[in-house]
Chains A and B, each alone.
Chain A
């Protein structure tokens, strides 16, 4: 044996959990992750639900779909799962879509692929070109995130979904918490922890991997042989990257920091939520009618900005 598991001593270790000072094997890792994922699924999924699983073809969304499929098989709840892929039009997406197709075919899950340009009349590469010529300082990732989120909600709603499952892992969650702290955005912080309310147009979201570190997600996806694209988006930029590097340094020096920070902030924010809810009363966008917390949804705000840029550059 290469290096035995510190927990069971029976199989070879495959991953180091620095915060526990342990290296554990594939089965102990599977048990550890499932213990974090299953309570979220138990709480969030009810009989009769139709779950749209957002599937980019990356490791996180692919593992999320796998767990939904496993839960459907093993739980006594009668619910449906299908996968939705939003194609932003980047060259990076082509490979991940092929992995997504392979996974859905292997699991026997229905798969809907929608081009972002079919919904918003432009793709992310087109936004990138516009941004490069404009004075707008916002990162491309912000546009991509906002457009994808709305596209996903629209497709899920049209397909009759009652919940949208996303692949956000513990690292993503902690990054978002710290970005909200940096921006002083209490309302966004509250939305992150409040249970999504179902409205006529907004499909509630669930995040089955919210308590699983990204490293463990990666190793688990590899060990399960899940077809997934492990590449990094070449267009990535912005505050999240800087926050991630900062958090990684803290985690390196204080193993388990991310998990403790998440649990700590979650506890505080959940206690404060009744006071915060009035900050994010849901409205409908005056232009497109999509759910928003403001007069205009973010997509329409961004579209207006970009259109103004097009006009100013063609003057």
Chain B
């Protein structure tokens, strides 16, 4: 990240119910990095639809993150 295109704007997006200022050219992956959220464990839902990490965010987008990793024991199929 960095450079002029990432300067903060007066525009905002809503993330998990909170308004945050966005930067120009910001993608879902940038937001995930800022928030310390891994694409290995979470997917982004933007305006109610799943969105890829390279989705370019727009002002007033409503973003939620859904953790998808659960835990299932195969346990080597112990009998």
Contacts and interface: CB of A to CB of B under 8 A. Distances in A.
B38 A252 contact: yes
A58 to B, nearest CB: 6
Interface in A254-303: 282, 290-293, 297-298
Contact of A15 (B40, B43, B69, B78): B43
Contact of B79 (A3, A172, A202, A230): A202
Given A3-B51, A3-B54, A60 B40 contact: no
B49 to A, nearest CB: 7
A159 interface: no
A293 B71 CA distance: 25
Contact of A60 (B54, B67, B72): B72
Given A23-B52, A202-B79, A145 B66 contact: no
Nearest to A173: B74
Contacts of B43: 15, 215, 218-219
Given A13-B55, A16-B53, A188 B77 contact: yes
Interface string A202-242: 10010000000011011100110000001011001000110
Interface residues of A, number: 63
B73 interface: yes
Given A145-B75, A150-B79, A252-B38, A232 B54 contact: no
A240 B50 CA distance: 27
A218 B66 contact: yes
Interface in B34-48: 38-41, 43, 45-46
* Majority secondary structure, A binding face: helix
B74 A192 contact: yes
A172 B74 contact: yes
Contacts of A292: 79
Contact of B73 (A142, A189, A219): A142
Given A202-B79, A292-B79, A16 B39 contact: yes
Given A14-B52, A16-B52, A191 B76 contact: yes
Contacts of A290: 79
B29 to A, nearest CB: 8
A3 B52 contact: yes
A191 B79 CA distance: 11
A307 interface: no
Contact of A146 (B50, B55, B75): B75
B73 to A, nearest CB: 3
B75 A142 contact: yes
A3 B55 contact: yes
Contact of B70 (A23, A149, A176, A232): A232
Most chain B CB inside 10 Å of its own CB: which residue of A192, A222, A292: A222
A290 to B, nearest CB: 7
Contacts of A141: 71, 73
A59 interface: yes
Interface in B13-63: 38-41, 43, 45-46, 49-56
Interface string A20-54: 00011000000000000000000000000000000
Nearest to A23: B52
Interface of B: 38-41, 43, 45-46, 49-56, 66-79
Interface of A: 2-3, 12-16, 18, 23-24, 58-60, 141-142, 144-146, 148-150, 167-168, 171-173, 176, 179-180, 183, 185, 187-189, 191-192, 202, 205, 214-215, 217-219, 222-223, 230, 232-233, 236, 240-241, 244, 248-249, 251-252, 282, 290-293, 297-298
